[in-house]
Amino acid sequence: MKKILLTLTAVLALWAASAPAMTPDELLSTVDRNLNPESYESYRKLINIEPDGSKREYLMYTIKKGQDKVASVFLEPASDKGRATLRLGDNMWLHIPNVGKPVRITSLQSVTGSVFNNSDIMRLDFGTEYNAESMEEVEGGTLLRLKAKTDSVAYDKLEMVVDKKYTVPTEIKCITSSGMLIKTLYFKKITEFEGGRIRPAVMETESPLNPGYKSIILFANVRSRDFDDEVFTLNYLPRVESLRK
């Protein structure tokens, strides 16, 4: 019996060694689906920390559908309640209660005045905006190098370290076409969400362009949910909060 078990172990080890490894694109696709369902809802708390230690916090309800539709509404603080954002591909808008039509915003602006820009806050799947060019084994995981598909993407390059056990990011360096580091994103506190999804519950960022400033996003209730296309329109933007259950 012992000899049989040893032989079986050897066969399994040989099979694992010969099994084809993921391509960079396959790894990136797995990262995207491990982070979020393709269509989902979630709650996020965004915390801005100033150099003097003072903080400002925002609570947001966010929905996403498919590859290019994201909408959010601010629930707190009271001064921002009802503000809502919509992203359709590269196009972004901000709705402010009691103000006329939604206004266009850009990916490099920030609706919360934080180190996170609008592209970070209204994140699409990484595979929607980036091609996976290469990967290599590094200490702490697999380094995945990404290149923006178009010039409209906030960062030209990403260097993403992927955790081997859970296949989610642990760190992402956001880099310009000239090689300058804009910011680093840190993914922390691996947590099991509804449906058995295991992913980071915390994302932090700091930037050499904003010394002393720090921003944090806490994720909660990330769960699959289908939405009609109608809710991702400018006309529906003032009513996004009504989708909360």
pLDDT digits (tens, 9 = 90+) for 92-150: 999 999 888 999 999 999 999 999 999 999 999 999 999 999 999 999 899 999 999 99
For position 195, what pLDDT does the model report?
Answer: 86
Average pLDDT over residues 196-211: 95
Residues forming a β-bridge with 56: 48
Quick: pLDDT tens for 57-84. 999 999 999 989 999 999 999 999 999 9
Is it true that the peptide bond before 20 is cis, omega within 30 degrees of 0?
A: no
For position 245, what pLDDT does the model report?
Answer: 82
For position 20, what pLDDT does the model report?
Answer: 52
Q: How confident is the model at residue 5 (pLDDT cuts 50, 70, 90)?
A: very low
Tell me the C-alpha distance between 214 and 204, whole Å: 7
- Nearest residue to 193 via CA among 165, 222, 168: 222
For position 18, what pLDDT does the model report?
Answer: 41
For position 10, what pLDDT does the model report?
Answer: 52
Residues forming a β-bridge with 220: 43
Question: Which of 10-19, 33-42, 59-68, 92-101 bottoms out in mean pLDDT, i.e. has the lowest?
Answer: 10-19
For position 43, what pLDDT does the model report?
Answer: 97
Tell me the C-alpha distance between 184 and 207, whole Å: 6
For position 15, what pLDDT does the model report?
Answer: 40
Tell me the C-alpha distance between 214 and 10, whole Å: 49
Q: Is the pLDDT of residue 4 over 90?
A: no
b/e sequence 142-178, b meaning 16+ C-beta within 10 Å: bbbbbbbeeeebbbbbbbbbbbeeebbbbbbbbbeee
Give yes or no for a contact between 70 and 122, defined as CB atoms under 8 angstroms apart.
yes
Strands (E), 100-239: 103-105, 130-138, 141-148, 157-162, 169-175, 181-192, 198-206, 214-224
For position 98, what pLDDT does the model report?
Answer: 87
Contacts of 25 (CB under 8 A, 6+ apart): 127, 131, 132
The mean pLDDT value of the chain amounts to 91
Q: Which residue has the higher pLDDT, 1 or 199?
A: 199
Q: How confident is the model at residue 6 (pLDDT cuts 50, 70, 90)?
A: very low
Give yes or no for a contact between 101 and 87, defined as CB atoms under 8 angstroms apart.
no
Tell me the C-alpha distance between 20 and 159, whole Å: 23
Residue 113 has which token pair? 């005045």
Average pLDDT over residues 183-188: 97
- Nearest residue to 221 via CA among 187, 245, 189, 186: 245
Q: How confident is the model at residue 22 (pLDDT cuts 50, 70, 90)?
A: confident
Q: What are phi and psi of 37, to 5 degrees?
A: -60, 165
For position 21, what pLDDT does the model report?
Answer: 77
Q: Which residue has the higher pLDDT, 211 or 19?
A: 211
Q: What percent of the chain has pLDDT over 70?
A: 92
Q: Which domains does the chain carry? A: 22-243 (2.50.20.10)
- Amino acid identity at 148: A
